[in-house]
């Protein structure tokens, strides 16, 4: 075969086939690996680009959101986080606080920025993120109060906000004594309700009672015209502890403090029998018992070293100072906190009692009713206003915390030969308004006491003088028909009538 022939030699053909065969088998394997590697690299790059794109979109979105929130935050003022107030204490004591907590430190707030509905006198203070609204007087019972604070600013920004908080005060109640041949009971009755109320203490022959720090101090008949003094835990089967009194005395008055454990008593010796009775050891003698101490009866001594004899006495809000009216008509300020100083501050013929804020002491002299300003010492004439255009003759009067006073007045009839006795509210404006009169003027209006928050007055009423029957008690006797009427001072509405007397708020 010619060398130029197109046919290949057999060996060459075989070798060529074998070589092609080897080359063809290796090429696909390496190409596949390169393709796979390239694909993997591309997928990784795409995934990384997708992650980076998602990350930056998310980061941008978060930054935008953050900027929006920062902008909104810079445009908004502080927020009210929580509020705390004691709904019971705020009706019992002046100076109780509403504490408003914000989410950041606050700028100063003035009382002009605060509105309280119903209206109440307040003061305001800021301590960091705490806004304090202090009620200067006691609030009304069972009443919803709305406290609004306008334009509250923060220390870190110019934006302001308004705060609002609502709360409802606790319902009120009154303690009173109901005497009965089957036994005497001290009850607690809600001011808004029906029925007699809840019996808290039951005992024989109760003359007087006062609540003191969770217990009741009772003066009871000893069967010989004198008194037994006891400390009683309230409730059925409550523990009873006798407090030792001097022999042969009776308790004329029990005076409870608004706080603390001091109890004041007025003691008199039991009158003896026969013509030769001698000079009594105790005659309206003022004494003090510390229920947290040795519980001994300690007479109060005057500047002359002799025991002080009084007509009446009342504690000031600190629970350690007494204002007393002595038998010699001196008005005394008595410090029981340690010094024992008895300081005469005025001379008044008759004393009625302290105002509910203990700033004024009402009384009377030969020319009419007066009051003594305990801070300045000024003595002020208290002329009653006209009642329905008629001249009124003023009697016992008690001031509220403001300029309003509650007073018993006598109104003459057209002939001037008879008088009506009324209980009125008077603010000195020239016209008083009726709180209570008896049916057909057949009854009598006795002692009365104003609730600490100036909302109600509790009045002892004998419905019919002609039909009244004494209860036969030798100490602190009352007619068997005696009732206590609770009157809303603002509206004049009678909200409660209870069969008993001696109301204590």
Q: How far is CA 121 from CA 326, 360, 367, 400, in A?
A: 35, 19, 35, 14
Distance of CA 196 to the CA centre of its chain: 24
Question: Distance (Å, rounded) from C-alpha 124 to C-alpha 479?
Answer: 50
**pLDDT at residue 163 tops 60:** yes
Buried b (16+ CB within 10 A) or exposed e, 451-470: bbbbbbbbbbbbbeeeeeee
pLDDT at res. 46: 79
The two three-digit tokens of residue 233, written as one number: 């835990």
Q: Mean pLDDT, the chain, as a whole number?
A: 90
Q: Give the pLDDT confidence score for residue 73 in this predicted structure.
A: 55
Beta strands across the sheet bearing 122-127:
80-84, 97-102, 130-135, 122-127
The percent of residues in the chain predicted with pLDDT above 70, rounded, is 91
**What is the predicted pLDDT for the residue at 217?**
98
Instruction: Give which of 176, 143, 149, 182 is closest to 164, Cα–Cα.
Output: 149
pLDDT at 6: 41
Q: What is the pLDDT of residues 289-309, one digit of tens each?
A: 999 999 999 999 999 999 999
Q: Are 240 and 286 in contact (CB under 8 A)?
A: no
Q: How far apart are CA 232 and CA 202, in angstroms?
A: 10
Higher pLDDT, 41 or 207: 207
| pLDDT band, very low/low/confident/very high, at 27 (cuts 50, 70, 90) | low
Per-position b or e across 346-384, b if 16+ CB within 10 A of its CB: bebebbbbbbbbbbbbbbbeeeebbbbebeeeeeeebeb
pLDDT on residue 20 = 46
Average pLDDT over residues 61-90: 79
By the 8 A CB rule, do 206 and 184 touch? yes
- Please state the length of the chain: 505
pTM: 0.82
Task: Tell me the residue ranges of DSSP E strands in 16-143.
Answer: 80-84, 97-102, 114-117, 122-127, 130-135
Per-residue confidence (pLDDT) for residue 111, from 0 to 100: 96
Whole-angstrom Cα distance, residue 169 to residue 22? 102
Write the CB contacts of 36 (distance below 8 Å, at least 6 apart in sequence): none
Quick: pLDDT tens for 202-249.
Answer: 999 999 999 999 999 999 999 999 999 999 999 888 899 999 999 999
Determine which of 48-57, 109-118, 248-257, 314-323 has the lowest per-residue pLDDT on average: 48-57
Identify the pLDDT of residue 24.
47
Least confident of 53-57, 357-361, 448-452: 53-57
Whether residue 292 contacts residue 212, with contact meaning beta carbons closer than 8 Å, is answered with no
Q: What is the DSSP string of 422-478?
A: EEEEE-SSSEEEEEE--GGG-SEEEEEEE-TTSSEEEEEEES-STT--B---SSS--
Write the class of the CATH domain 80-168: mainly beta
């Amino acid at each position: 075969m010619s060398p130029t022939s197109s046919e290949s030699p057999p060996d060459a053909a075989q070798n060529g086939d074998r070589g092609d065969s080897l080359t063809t088998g290796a090429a696909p394997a390496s190409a596949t690996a390169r393709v796979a590697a390239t694909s993997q690299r591309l997928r990784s790059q795409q995934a990384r680009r997708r992650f980076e794109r998602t990350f930056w979109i998310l980061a941008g979105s978060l930054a935008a959101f953050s900027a929006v929130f920062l902008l909104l935050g810079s445009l908004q003022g502080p927020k009210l986080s929580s509020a705390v107030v004691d709904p019971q204490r705020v009706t019992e004591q002046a100076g109780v606080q509403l504490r408003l907590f914000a989410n950041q430190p606050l700028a100063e707030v003035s009382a002009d920025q605060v509105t309280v509905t119903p209206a109440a006198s307040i003061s305001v203070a800021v301590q960091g993120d705490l806004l304090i609204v202090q009620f200067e007087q006691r609030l009304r019972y069972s009443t919803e109060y709305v406290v609004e604070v306008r334009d509250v600013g923060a220390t870190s920004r110019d934006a302001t906000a308004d705060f609002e908080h609502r709360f409802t005060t606790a319902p009120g109640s009154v303690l009173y004594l109901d005497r009965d041949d089957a036994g005497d009971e001290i009850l607690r009755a809600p001011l808004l309700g029906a029925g007699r109320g809840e019996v808290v203490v039951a005992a024989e022959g109760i003359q007087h009672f006062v609540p003191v720090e969770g217990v009741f101090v009772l003066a009871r008949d000893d069967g010989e015209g004198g008194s037994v003094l006891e400390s009683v835990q309230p409730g059925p089967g409550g523990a009873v502890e006798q407090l030792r009194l001097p022999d042969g005395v009776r308790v004329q008055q029990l005076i409870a403090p608004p706080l603390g454990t001091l109890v004041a008593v007025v003691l008199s010796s039991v009158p003896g029998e026969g013509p030769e009775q001698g000079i009594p050891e105790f005659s309206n003698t003022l004494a003090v018992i510390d229920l947290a101490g040795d519980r001994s009866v300690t007479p109060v001594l005057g500047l002359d070293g002799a025991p002080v004899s009084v007509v009446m006495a009342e504690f000031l809000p600190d629970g350690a100072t007494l204002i007393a009216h002595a038998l010699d008509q001196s008005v005394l300020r008595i410090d029981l906190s340690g010094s024992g100083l008895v300081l005469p501050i005025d001379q008044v013929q008759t004393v009625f009692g302290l105002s509910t804020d203990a700033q004024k002491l009402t009384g009377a002299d030969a020319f009419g009713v007066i009051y003594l300003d305990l801070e300045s010492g000024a003595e002020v004439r208290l002329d009653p206003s006209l009642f329905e255009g008629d001249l009124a003759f003023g009697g016992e009067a008690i001031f509220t915390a403001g300029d309003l006073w509650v007073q018993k007045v006598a109104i003459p009839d057209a002939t001037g030969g008879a008088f009506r006795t009324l209980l009125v509210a008077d603010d000195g404006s020239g016209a008083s308004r009726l709180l209570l009169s008896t049916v057909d003027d057949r009854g009598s209006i006795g002692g009365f006491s104003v609730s600490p928050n100036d909302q109600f007055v509790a009045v002892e009423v004998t419905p019919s003088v002609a039909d009244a029957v004494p209860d036969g008690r030798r100490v602190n006797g009352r007619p068997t028909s005696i009732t206590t009427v609770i009157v809303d001072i603002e509206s004049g509405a009678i909200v409660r009538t209870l069969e008993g007397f001696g109301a204590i708020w």
